[in-house]
Every structure is written in structure tokens, then in C-alpha cells.
Structure 1
Amino acid sequence: MELKLSASYDATPEEVFAIVSDATFREQACEKTKALSYDVQVTESGGDTIVRVSREMPSDDVPDFARKFVGQTLTVVQTETWHAAAADGSRRADVVGEISNTPVTLKGTASISGGAQAVQAIDLDVKVAVPLIGKKMEPFVVDAIRSGLQKEHELARDWTH
């Protein structure tokens, strides 16, 4: 199931990238999304900046029919590999993620583009590889991811002011 989301900021692409690749920002985003625990790593590899966020989340919002697959908590691991800036300052990232010990995976891209008003866009494909109920679970997973990303975008807007 596809998830597309974008947010605009009163900031340049360089400023938005500085925020999304800041470990403190990512830690605050984990707190804002009510993570029970988290680990944030920002590393450099060649010209790429790799942002890896692992967070343990309560599974309270998981529908009953799916809770037996996940238990009381979920460990969500997301890795963004941000490539070097293009001549216009825009950036693209390859995004992969999973909910540990579940058949949930996500894969896609993120981008930051624009001039004085930057736009951060995310385009993900979310899969729940469970026969029969996987397609039924995907909307719940997508909604949870969307909610977390929206909270992260709100926090990023606060950081740009």
C-alpha cells in the first residue's frame, strides 16, 4: 500500500536537511511520537548521510486481530540514506524500514527540494506479508506511519522558526 506525504517549511533545503539529519531532532521526534525507548544514529558513508532510527512503540493502536502478531510493543527501525546535495541544494534519500519480528516492511524515497520554501516529500510502499489478513492490516500500518511522520513534520516546523 502506498503512502505519500509532504510538508513545506519556511526554510531552504539545506536548512531542512540539517534538521532531519540532526540526532537531537530525531530524538525529540521519538519523544513526540511517544516512543518507549529509542536509538538514533547519524553516520557518514562516502558522500551519503545515513540516519537510522530504532524506536520501541506501544502497540495500543494495533487492531485486536493483528495484536497476536506484534505483542505489547513494536520495534520500528527506519534507515534513510541521504545522498549528496544536487546543484540546486535538493536531496534524495533511499528509505527502508521494518517492524522487527513482524512481516511489515517499508521501502521508498524521501526528498527535500525547493528554494526559500523547502518541501520535504516521502513516498513509501508499505507491505504486510501475511496471507489473507495482510491487506487488511496495511491501512492501519500506513495510518500509524502517517501519524508519526506528521508529528515529525510539526516538530521540524518548530525547528525552522
Structure 2
Amino acid sequence: MATRIVHELKYDAPLDAVVAMLADPAFRNEVCVNQRATRHSVKIDGVQGDPMKVLIDYAQPTDKVPGFAKKFVGNEVEISQAETWTSPTHGDIHVTIPGKPGEMHGTAVLTEKDGVTTETVTLDITVKIPLVAGKIEGLIGKIFGSAMRAEGRTGVAWLAR
């Protein structure tokens, strides 16, 4: 059984500006820094709709992870996020934690109304650890929510420049 999370990011900018931001490696690097990644790499191939492929590999400290989960992840967790944007407004997302029994699958969808662009990210979190899967899925959801809020703040600042 998976845990579903939905997170909306609102940008006071037209769709084309948000599309350009998401396709910019400098923006993606800045997001990683603002999400407290201890190290990261960003690779973007193609352009949105071509399809554009985004691969972000990064490591996060686990200093804020509860003790019951720390024994599964250690002091740092490696994360690999792959996105395939088949159009400027739709991306498929697959997040893995190499060597750990958990992953996320979902989508990012961009919509614009009256010059405001909303990015809706929907992900299903699956952890394959008997007895504690639900707890860890919930924890991952909270951590992901925090990461999305950091991305949103970074995007607002980026678009205001």
C-alpha cells in the first residue's frame, strides 16, 4: 500500500517563465542548496516537450530523522530524482533511494490562470519494510513536503530577479 502526497507550488509568473525556470540547471542547483543537500549533481537533456529529461542526484543529512527510521537510512541518505517532461506542462517523476527499499512515482503538472502558475506535484510513496512501512512513508511525505516548500521559496525568489 502506498501513501499519496499532493503539493502545490504557486508562482506569480506566467507559464513560460516557470517552464524556463524548471529547465534551468542553475535553478535546480540552487534548489538543492536550499534543501540542505550535502552534495548534488544536476543533468538536464533536451527541452520541455522534446521530451526534457532531468536527473538530480543528491545526498541529504538525516539529523532531523527520528531514531526508529535512522537505523534504516543512516547519517545521510542518497536520493535520485528523474523527471521526464513530455510537454511543457506535464512531467513524470520517479524518485529512488539507492540501496533502500523505498521509492516515489508521480507527476508534476503546470497550469496558469491570470498570470499565476501552479505546479501540482502528486507522488505515491512506497516503502517495502514490513511493520514500519506506513510510518516511514509518512515520514518521507513530511520530509518531501519540507523539500517542496524550500523549492517553492527558491522559485519565488528566482522569478522575482
Alignment TM class, shorter chain as reference: over 0.9
Aligned with residue 96 of structure 1, among 89, 94, 97: 94
Matched position secondary structure for 1:150: helix
Quote the Cα distance in structure 1 between the aligned partners of 2:145 and 2:84: 20
1:12-51 to structure 2, matched below 5 A, reads: 12-44=14-46, 47-51=50-54
1:9-158 to structure 2, matched below 5 A, reads: 9-44=11-46, 47-85=50-88, 91-115=89-113, 116-158=115-157
Which digits, 9 at most, give the CA deviation of each residue in 1:68-114, with x for residues without a partner?
211111011111111123xxxxx100000111211110000001111
Q: Deviation at 1:57?
A: 0.7
Give the gaps of 5 or more residues in structure 1: 86-90
Quote the Cα distance in structure 1 between the aligned partners of 2:143 and 2:53: 23
Counterpart amino acid of 2:54? V
Q: Deviation at 1:12?
A: 1.2
Find runs of 4+ consecutive structure 1 residues off by over 6 angstroms: none
Matched position secondary structure for 1:160: helix
Quote the Cα distance in structure 1 between the aligned partners of 2:128 and 2:64: 20
Give the gaps of 5 or more residues in structure 2: none
Q: CA RMSD in A?
A: 1.3
Percent identical across equivalent pairs?
A: 28
Question: TM-score with structure 2 length normalisation?
Answer: 0.92
Quote the Cα distance in structure 2 between the aligned partners of 1:53 and 1:8: 22
Quote the Cα distance in structure 1 between the aligned partners of 2:146 and 2:119: 16
Counterpart amino acid of 1:148? A
Quote the Cα distance in structure 1 between the aligned partners of 2:54 and 2:14: 20
Which digits, 9 at most, give the CA deviation of each residue in 1:103-130, with x for residues without a partner?
1100000011114111111000011110
Q: Which moved more, 1:40-49 or 1:63-72?
A: 40-49
